Amino acid sequence: MMRIYKYLIVCVVIIFLFFLYETLKAFDDGIVGLTKRGGNTEGCTCHNLTPFPEVSVIISAPSVVHPNDTVDCVLKISGGPLVAGGCDISAGTGNVITSLADTSLQSLLAAVNDYELTHKYPKFPSGDTVFFLFKYIAPNTPGITDTIFANGNSVNYNGLPTGDEWNYAGNKLIYIAYPLQITGNSQVVKNFQLNQNYPNPFNPNTNIKYQISRNGFVTLKIYDLTGKEVTTLVNSYQNAGIYEVNFASEKFGLSSGAYVYQINFTDPLRRENSFNDAKRMILIK
């Protein structure tokens, strides 16, 4: 009977060591499926079920992109023991992929046709921060808001899960804007015209339509009421025709109020025949 007990104890120890090894191995090789995507709240089960507020995890990415854009992003981890760091990064509708600038990340299958990014090995900090560089590919659907999710581990790198900490990143919202410019058509235009934007008032996007009767150089700019330039929407040589431009206000962090859009046309062969016009538009949040 004693031999049976010893055998059972040995089996239990072996099973425990196996699961401990798998847990450590999972951390060393990365982990997926533990961001807030889909309402998940488990975080990092191998280190603690509760996040640690002293660990800061920040996603840096553009707030506005266009359909199918691929943009550079950074995940920053600081605080906690941070001898090394790990991560899990996912996206709601778009995709996150590895960047050639960071060989420490890998793409792993988290669910059917669903890949997330995680570390290949614990990454050591630069200064007081661990940086993971990655790319985000926007979906082919303008007018929606997508989300990048992430969590980050801050570990003491002692070979055990004890003493390690982690936290979620704040969800990074990305607005998928309509294409900046709709190509002008080739119909005959007899005069210059700057139309009132529509919709107006607007939030967050509006369209600006104009027509030019000759080939020439066009600039279309947005200003606030103090005269400070917000952005240049058009700055190019264009053929005669009708054009339409989309203005995505979220990209510039504008507050509610009135703004001015101004067009300037110059014919390089007939500089005396320029065209200038401006109109107001209202942003309401």
Domains, the chain, in order of start with CATH, read 54-177 (2.60.40.680), 181-283 (2.60.40.2550)
Q: How many helices (H) and strands (E) does the chain have?
A: 1, 19
pLDDT in tens, 245-270: 888 888 888 999 999 999 999 887 76
Q: Above 60 in pLDDT, residue 91? A: yes
What is the pTM assigned to this prediction? 0.60
Residue 201: asked if its preceding bond is cis (omega within 30°), the reply is: yes
Q: Which region among 36-50, 179-193, 212-226, 231-245 has the lowest average model confidence (pLDDT)?
A: 179-193
State the Cα angle at 177 between 118 and 210, rounded to 5°: 155
Cα dist. 168→95, 227, 239 in Å? 19, 41, 51
The answer to whether the CB of 125 falls within 8 A of the CB of 156 is: no
Q: Distance from CA of residue 31 to its chain's centroid?
A: 21
**pLDDT classification of 86: cutoffs 50, 70, 90:** very high
pLDDT in tens, 99-133: 999 999 999 998 888 999 999 999 999 999 999 99
Using DSSP bridges, classify how beta strands 216-224 and 275-283 pair: parallel, antiparallel or unpaired: unpaired
What is the rounded (10 degree) CA torsion for 100, 106, 109, 115?
-40
**pLDDT classification of 242: cutoffs 50, 70, 90:** confident
Within 8 A by CB and 6+ apart from 162, the residues are: none
C-beta neighbour count of 201 within 10 angstroms: 13
State percent of the chain over pLDDT 70.
81
Q: What is the DSSP letter of 126?
A: B
Question: What DSSP string describes 31-67?
Answer: --S-SSGGG----BTTTBSS--TTSEEEEE--SEE-T
pLDDT the model gives residue 21: 36
The answer to whether the CB of 58 falls within 8 A of the CB of 75 is: yes
- Tallying the residues shown for the chain, one arrives at 285
**pLDDT classification of 47: cutoffs 50, 70, 90:** low
